[in-house]
A and B are shown apart, each in its own frame.
Chain A
Amino acid sequence: MATSGKLIEVRDLKKYYNGEAIKALDGVSVDVNRGDVMVVIGPSGSGKSTFLRSLNLLEQPTSGSIVFEGVDITKKTDAQGKRINIDLHRQKMGMVFQHFNLFPHKTILQNMTMAPIKLKGISPAEANEKAMALLERVGLADRAGAYPIQLSGGQKQRVAIVRALAMEPDVMLFDEPTSALDPEMVGEVLDVMKKLALEGMTMVVVTHEMGFAREVGNRVLFMADGKLLEEGTPDAIFNAPQNPRLQDFLSKVL
């Protein structure tokens, strides 16, 4: 998995609302390499969530391109003229949401096995086995038969992470995964994410956890007003910020 190379190439991505009145994304270009742990920071309303949600087209960008594993998924057809099925590409892009979005009518195990069984045609026995192994890794194997409502916020988010992992994605997208958690539960979720990063998973993480960005990220992006204003290693971003907006932002959050 850790072979190097570009996994996602984003070019001049724009997302406008109301004509051109609101520019949520105003020309963002960036490459995500395999094995990257890319952390996106910035003030609220900076477009970082919109950027992340555009990567798997939960937001339909106004213009620009997103080339994922060689295919421009913003187009209707690929280079060979074949119709692009976004559902197939999404299977390879796991996503974790701020509000977990577990399926309340399914058990934890069912939450995890549903997509592999229905979409990949994996046998229920094999899917269960893999899901249990994943739950074991995040210390929740004993809750496999529980319903989401019976879990704490931190447990829910850990399940949401392994639910996405059960599809064996090539990249994981995290949309403020700890923002809706009680403070004492943030650590357990960040620990899971850190383990994942150490295993070589390609990750794009939108977060306000500067500690995580500094410690786990290998690249940090700073966004404001829909633009990518600065990019660099955690060391460069946190210890030698160039852009005045970034300097101002860091002075408020650190």
Chain B
Amino acid sequence: MPNLKDLKVRIDSVKSTRKITSAMKMVAAAKLRRAQEQAEASRPYAQRMERMLGSLAAAAAGQAGAPKLLAGSGSDETHLIVVATADRGLCGGFNTSIVREARRTANALLEQGKTVKFICVGRKGRDQLRRDFGERIIDTVEDIARPSLSFDKAAAIGERVVAMFEAGEFDVCTMFYAEFRSAISQIVTPQQLIPFAAPAKADNGNGDDNGTDEEGGNDALDGAVYEYEPGEEEILTALLPTNISIQIFKALLENAASEHGARMTAMDNATRNAGEMINSLTLVYNRTRQAAITGELIEIISAKEAM
């Protein structure tokens, strides 16, 4: 029989845990809203960039002198994997599922005899990968979302990746992040950054566009011949690295929203579980107390009768 004092102590400790988790849940909800707003605000740029790049890439893809970022380096021996995770835990399976996906890809590549390198964005990813791929992790970027995620920070990573590519340090670059669907569903997505993979015909634009311009009239221009200033190639060489930074920026924004969503759900569950635990502990506590009282009563009554 557990004694009353121990039970009381446990109930109090679970109660304070519940207070913490419910506060974390509310903080995550607020951050999620902000992250979602930021992700939405960044969409117009990415969309227009995609539109521009789409028409350029289609024109340049077949040509011999196409930039390397578009055409690739001609081999796929060395792979760079950029793993975007959170800096903090307590967000359910968020970090683990991204890392698991990245690890699986890396192992598959290693089995084929390829070389794999990692860049970790986020402390948690590095911590989990370090055991298996310690010496393959070439860099870790930490605290990217503090105080806030900005394009400059994403661009710094982008420039680094492009510089490494140009130095011939890898052939293919893939980024792993969690795409945000809703607070309870985040989908781990691998995205190839280098060589540039033309996006599947964009079917977004409905609803999230401001609808200020009449898209119908513009669509007629897709595939139209543009004039290029200064030249097609110069524009492409300027556009492709920017695009990589943008893709990274977009992925990091999605990831931030996913992280807060995952944390919100995890903390919601934790709060609920703590509530259940308090209920069952309180029940045991009351029963024990009652049993003690009953025991004492019996003692008194039987003592009285014996007299």
Asked if chains A and B come from one complex, the reply is no
Interface residues of chain A, those whose CB is within 8 Å of chain B, are none
Interface residues of chain B, those whose CB is within 8 Å of chain A, are none
